[in-house]
Amino acid sequence: MKLLLLFLLLLTAITGCDNSESNFPASGDPTISLESNEIYGGPNRKFEIKASLNDDLGLKSVQIKIMELQLDKVITFSTDPLLKAYELSYSFLIPQDKLITDKFEVELILTDVSGNVVTKKIGLRLDGDFEAPKLTNLKPVNNSVVFKSSDTKVTISFNAQDYTGIDNIIVSSPSLGINDVVAVGGVKSYNYSKTFSIPGVLQSYDISITVKDNFLTPNQETTKVNFAVADGLTSMFLTDLPVNSNLTSDAFGVPMLFHKKVGNVFTFKYYANSDNKEIFFLGQDTSYEPHTFGLSSTGSFQNSITSKPVILPTKGYYQITVNPIDLVYTVTSYTPTSAPINLSTTPITIAGGGMANGGWNPNSTALALSADPSNPYRLSREITLDGTGVQMTITGNNWYPFWRLDTFGVTPYLGGGNATYSGVAAGTYIFTLDTELERATLIKK
C-alpha cells in the first residue's frame, strides 16, 4: 500500500512538471522564410540577417549561432499576448582579423510555444561588395560650355568600374530628350560614349548618370553634370601647368580666373616667375576639355587639346587679352604701378578657419606672411589644413589693410566675399597672395 501511494505521488509530480513546461496545445511547426540563403559581409563590417518568422499558434524564441565567430544570441518573444509573426533583422560586426576568403554558416533555431523546433542554415561570405560603381573621365565637364552651331551636339562619355560588375547604366536629361538605358551584362569596366543632337537654345542643361552594379543587393552611383549651350565662353582661366595636369588637387587659384571681360574679349594679368614661361587658356576650371586654347603647330591661336603653350619670354608681369571666338590674343609686359606692402611697417597675416593656428584674430602673428625676395607683391607661407571648410581674410593689424578670399582665389584689395572652400583635403599647402594681381593660390605641397 505504501509503495502504491509513493508511486502515485511520483506520477503526480511528473505530470505536474510536464504541465508547467508547456501550457499550450500542440500546433504545427513554425516557419523561417529567408530573403536569401547566402548573405555577405566583410572584415570589420556588419552583416545583417533578415528572416520572416511565423507560427500558427505563437513564437517562443529564436537562436542565432555562428560557432566560428562566437555568436550565440537568443531572442525570446512575449507569450502574453502570443506573437504569431516576427520580422527578424539582426546585425553583427565581423572581427577585423577575418579574411575576405573566409566563409561561415549561420544557424537559425526557431522554437514555438508548443515546443516545436525548426532550423535553417545560411551561408555567410566575407567578400561582399558594398561600394557603389566609380565613374571617371566624365564628359562633358561640369559647368563647361558647348558652343551653339547649326547642328549643336554634346558627347557624353565616361568609364564605369565595379568590383562585382556593372548591371546597367541610365543616362537621362528630360530637357534634352535623352533617356538612354544600357544593359551592360556584368563586365567590371565599361566605357560609355555617345553623341546626342541637342537644342541650340542658349541655356544650362543637366544630365543625370546612374550606374548600378551586379551585386546581390545592388549598389548604385548617380552623378549629375551641368553644362551650358552658349555663343561663347562666360569665363576663362589661365594655367601654367602642362596639358592633362591635375587641376583639382590644389585648394584654390589653379587655374587663375580672368580679370575682366568685355564682349568676347577676356583680359588677364599674370606674373611669370621665370623666363620662357609656358601658359594655356581654358574655358573651364577643372579640366583641359572641352576648351584648351594655345598655339597650333604653325603658330596660330587655336582651341584644341593638342595645343602647344603660349610662351612668355621673360620673368615679370603681363597683361594678356584673349578672344576665344575670333581666336586672337595679345601679350604685353608691364611694370606694376600699385605700391607693394612693406611688411616691416605693416605686418600681414592670415585670419580664418579650416587651418592649424587659424582663428579670426587680425593681430595674431601665428600665420604671418613673408614677401618673395625677388617680388615684394607676392606674400606667402606654408599652412596646414585640417580637412574642414577653408575661409580666409588676409589682413593687417586691426583688419587694415585686408583682402577677403572670394571664389576662384580672387582676393580684391579692401573687398571680397568671404567664400568657403569645402571638400579640401587635409595636408600641407603653400599659400601665396599676389597683391598686384589680387589673386591667391593654395597649392598642395
Give the separation between CA 96 and CA 45, rounded to whole angstroms. Answer: 8
Enter the CATH code of domain 349-444.
2.60.40
pTM over 0.85, yes/no = no
- pLDDT at res. 362: 96
Q: Taking the domains of the chain in order of start, what are their residue ranges?
A: 31-125, 134-230, 237-334, 349-444
Cα separation of the two ends of the chain: 102
181-185 contact pairs (CB < 8 A, 24+): 184/160
CA atoms within 13 A on the CB side of 426: 4
Grouping H, G, I as helix, E, B as strand and the rest as coil, residue 277 is strand
Could you tell me which residues come within 8 angstroms of residue 266 by beta carbon, excluding any fewer than 6 positions away? 233, 236, 258, 260, 281, 321, 322, 323, 324
Q: What 3-state class would DSSP assign to 266?
A: strand
Count of beta carbons in the 10 Å neighbourhood of residue 172: 15
Domain spanning 31-125: CATH 2.60.40.1930:
yes
Closest to 223 measured CA to CA, from 131, 130, 134: 134
Report the pLDDT value the prediction gives residue 2, as an integer from 0 to 100: 42
pLDDT digit string, tens, across residues 232-273: 898 999 999 999 899 999 999 999 999 999 999 999 999 999
- How confident is the model at residue 21, as a pLDDT? 46
User: Which residue, 267, 283, 282, 376, is CA-closest to 318?
Assistant: 267
Q: What is the pLDDT of residue 429?
A: 97
Q: What is the structure's pLDDT at 390?
A: 97
pLDDT more than 70, % of the chain: 95
pLDDT beyond 80 at 420: yes
Q: What is the CATH number of domain 134-230?
A: 2.60.40.10
Least confident of 23-27, 119-123, 370-374: 23-27
Closest CA to 113 of 20, 27, 15, 19: 27
177-198 average pLDDT score = 96
Domain 31-125 and domain 237-334, same fold? Reply is: yes
Average pLDDT, the chain: 92
Question: What is the topology classification, in CATH, of domain 237-334?
Answer: Immunoglobulin-like (2.60.40)
Helix boundaries (H) for 22-99: none
